[in-house]
Amino acid sequence: MELMKNVQAWTEGVEVEWDALQQIRNIAGLPILAGHVAVMPDVHLGKGATVGTVLPTRGAIIPAAVGVDIGCGMAALRTELQAAQLPESLAAVRAAIEAAVPVGFDIHDAEINPTHEGPHGRDLRAKMQALFARFEKLAILTALRRVDARRIWRQLGTLGGGNHFIELCLDEGGTVWIMLHSGSRNIGKTIGEAAIGMAREAAHRAGVALPDKDLAWLNEGTAEFGQYVEALQWAQDYAALNRELMLFRVLNALRAALRHPVKLTAQVVNCHHNYATVEEHFGAKVWITRKGAVSAREGQLGIIPGSMGTRSYIVRGRGNPLAYCSCSHGAGRRMSRGAAKRMFDLEALAAQTRGVECRKDEGVLDEIPGAYKDIDTVMAAQADLVEVVHTLKQVLCVKG
């Protein structure tokens, strides 16, 4: 569906707020675009660019479109555990997960050391060592001035706050899945903010008139662009490793809490939804920025979460070229955090998360399911982008 000139949207039956439409219009008029803007059904207002948008650009990247949680995304693994093997109360399991994975602003007391037996532990340690070696060579570090390296490595394997979460879910056959949402933590934010500042300065020097200062871009071939791309790719790898480390810490916590082995199946998914990469579309290689969108090439597995009390989906991409082979990254917010706190109370939170072992206090009120769009409507709007492989229902949710 064409929402406006130079825009293709998958928003049939989904509400899109006026401010988000204005942002989309601003993006669609940028001279660096290498094609139309693709709008996902979870679209909502963001910083500079709307969340739930796919941008093709030629010879440039908009750092604010990538965002400050570089590489934020989802990970899920399927266990061989069945619903009947879970205890009636999951409170002890939630406590074990919260003890294994720091949430909110908390970090590990020391650098995390993968102790998992077999190839998983060795593979994770090798990835960590590779990240360490690349970090000191990042050219953008001079722009970041002082960075606390100890904090960076102690934040690996931590959740964060906001809409980041860890869940235990049951699929349609009653099999238990571990699913989580997190990104590159404070170092990704630091890199993102530095790059946004560099882009604004570059636009000012060049006298570029912008509808929004956060739509400033960095041009390929400049020193700033090279520094950002190097750091961007590093932060995306950091985010993916962060999720891997948490998956296996949660798995070990689950084993300890249940006091019996929990085996894995071969099905593990780890996907970004805030990132930029070079891809080929319509016969040309371009930069694709997915701000709140997931790669959905034909046959590619992805994760589309709902909210803490609804459903989530493991999906397989259909490779729709008009969407740049993408899909939504979730249900998408239908109201701001402040509006959610004004509209809902703790009674509503308890009702909307009934049957889910999770926090039900003021600290997570802005994450109430009612603050999000209806996940079924969002999924119906993108039926030509993905097919559903598994439908997951949360039974436990940990939030920062």
Q: Is the separation of the CB atoms in 313 and 382 below 8 Å?
A: no
Q: Partners of 293 in the beta sheet? A: 328
Q: Which two tokens stand for residue 8?
A: 């293709």
Going by the DSSP 8-state scheme, the letter that residue 36 receives in this structure is: P
Question: 378, 379, 356, 360: which is closest to 368 by C-alpha?
Answer: 360
Residues 192, 52, 212, 161, Cα dihedral to 10°: -40
Is 329 marked active-site? yes
**37 Cβ contact list (under 8 Å, min separation 6):** 6, 7, 8, 24, 27, 28, 53, 54, 55
Question: 182, 201, 218, 188: which is closest to 63 by C-alpha?
Answer: 218
State how far the Cα of 72 lies from the Cα of 77, in Å rounded to an integer: 17
Q: Partners of 57 in the beta sheet? A: 33, 287
Q: Check 164, 272, 329, 390 and give the catalytic one.
A: 329
Which residues are known to be catalytic? 329
